[in-house]
Amino acid sequence: MIIGQDVFLRPITEKDVDSIYMGLQNEEIMYMTGTRNIFTKDQIREALNRFSEDSTRHDFAICLVENSQIIGDLAIMEIDLDNKKAMFRIALHSIENCGKGYGAEAVQLTQKFTFEELQLNRLELQVYSHNIRGMKSYEKVGFKKEGILRQSLYMNDKYSDEIIMSILRDEYMELRKNH
């Protein structure tokens, strides 16, 4: 477990399927993450089982410190030990939990795990240009924009760019030192 002030991260388990499923029913969350597929609970269960056997990823439930309720999930994926880098994704399961700082704190806990535990040098993510709240949150915790895949998503009758962002170990250490 990785414990913060308002949220903590714990390994994701099968009992988290219902919350993940509910998040995947929300149109706004699906749009923010560019998710088109509707998944059944069985498909989610199968995916979690697959992920748990994949040595190149760590999946976490994001839970509230005050009551241990799961509010989201995240994954550090495609861990490349040779190049000391990984990909990252996060999703809160309810719009009501957005804008409260929970996601930003979960990302900071992920950075701590990535750079201090896994000893990686780079953490990368992709965010769609229509997800302004997400981009601002990532920038707030030290991610920098480094590339744009123009009009790479067509959803809800419009195109969105895919923004590539990353944070490097040195940048993370500098942020830690200044806080």
pLDDT digit string, tens, across residues 147-165:
999 999 999 999 999 999 9
What pLDDT score does 156 carry? 93
What pLDDT score does 95 carry? 83
Q: Are strands 85-92 and 122-128 parallel, antiparallel or unpaired?
A: parallel
Cα distances (angstroms) measured from residue 165 to each of 1, 78, 162: 26, 16, 10
What pLDDT score does 158 carry? 95
Which range is least confidently modeled, 21-35, 71-85, 126-140? Answer: 21-35
Edge to edge, the sheet with strand 158-168 lists 2-3, 7-11, 58-64, 70-80, 85-92, 122-128, 158-168, 144-155
Q: Return mean pLDDT, the chain.
A: 95
What pLDDT score does 141 carry? 96
Answer whether residue 49 shows pLDDT above 80.
Answer: yes
* Beta carbons within 8 Å of 123's beta carbon, 6+ residues apart: 76, 85, 86, 87, 88, 110, 111, 114, 115, 166, 167
What pLDDT score does 178 carry? 84
What pLDDT score does 20 carry? 94
* Secondary structure (3-state) at 145: strand
- Percent of the chain at pLDDT > 70 equals 100
